[in-house]
Amino acid sequence: MKETASVFLVEDDPVTRRHLVETIDSLERFCIVGEVGALAEARERIEPASPDVLLTDLKLPDGSALALIEEQADLNPRLLILVISVFGDEETVVRAVEAGAHGYILKTDSSQAIDLALQQLLDGGSPISASIARHLIRRLQPASDQSAATQADPPPSLLSRRELEVLQLVAKGYSYQEIANLIGVSSNTIGSYTKRMYTKLAVHSKSEAVFEALRLGLVTKPE
């Protein structure tokens, strides 16, 4: 990662966008390389801008940024993706993470919190606003009045669709080069997916990743 990380901002509200631009440009480690207010504009301008970080709202005038997140996560696994939204409900957060977002913060967070989230993202973390984290923790805790057979649903996946696909193939015994050939990407891209999976699952090896994914029900046990 470069000493100064470049940020591409997608936010449709002009006032909010200007505030975020000023906040980010005031930070020592970050600079804005593009700012747009619509999905179509983002798709057109993000590749030439070649940012290190995509900071995006979800609800845009011409569609959902979830599509953009998923596209960019597949096209550029090294891109760090941070959602900033007014929506902090469980379903929206989980969908964003599954699409490929590395973190999720709220527009109501302070400038200092946004600064900290970007710093954490750059340093390999997955920042989530405190209020969202508390909500998700409550979601993952089994209800006290339920039996073991009827406890809360399994925890939502923190892996993107493509990461789950790679991990399922790993569980079936394919090598990274074989997986790259199967899904039509480079071995370096598989390496990037693997690094992200290890971070999200808090593991350090292929066997640990498979074991943890099976334990969490993220992948199915091979026949």
DSSP 37: S
User: For residues 176 and 197, what is the distance between their CA atoms, to the nearest angstrom?
Assistant: 13
pTM recorded for the entire structure: 0.65
What's the CATH number where 56 sits?
A: 3.40.50.2300
88 and 197 belong to one structural domain? no
Radius of gyration of the chain (CA): 18
User: For residues 71 and 56, what is the distance between their CA atoms, to the nearest angstrom?
Assistant: 13
Q: Which of 138, 169, 188 is the last residue of a domain?
A: 138
Specify the higher pLDDT residue, 97 or 68.
68
Reported in sequence order, the residue ranges of 37-175 that DSSP labels E, i.e. its strands, are 53-56, 59-60, 63-64, 80-85, 103-106
pLDDT for res 149: 38
How many degrees, rounded to 5, is the angle at CA 218 between CA 215 and CA 221? 65
**In contact, 32 and 53? CB cutoff 8 Å:** no
The answer to the question of residue 156 being in a domain is no
117 and 13 belong to one structural domain? yes
93 and 184 belong to one structural domain? no
Q: Which of 138, 153, 176 is the last residue of a domain?
A: 138
Q: What is the pLDDT of residues 150-200, one digit of tens each?
A: 344 444 456 788 888 888 898 888 888 889 888 888 888 888 888 888 878
Q: How many domains does the chain have?
A: 2
Q: What is the pLDDT of residues 6-39, one digit of tens each?
A: 999 999 999 999 999 999 999 989 999 999 999 9
The answer to the question of residue 149 being in a domain is no
Q: Count the neighbouring beta carbons within 10 Å of the beta carbon of residue 70.
A: 20
E strand or H helix at 84? strand 80-85
Q: Is the pLDDT of residue 120 over 60?
A: yes
Q: Count the neighbouring beta carbons within 10 Å of the beta carbon of residue 100.
A: 25
Report percent pLDDT > 70 for the chain: 87
pLDDT for res 151: 41
178 and 92 belong to one structural domain? no
**In contact, 127 and 103? CB cutoff 8 Å:** yes
pLDDT for res 154: 40
Domain span holding position 75: 5-138
What's the CATH number where 171 sits?
A: 1.10.10.10
pLDDT for res 136: 67
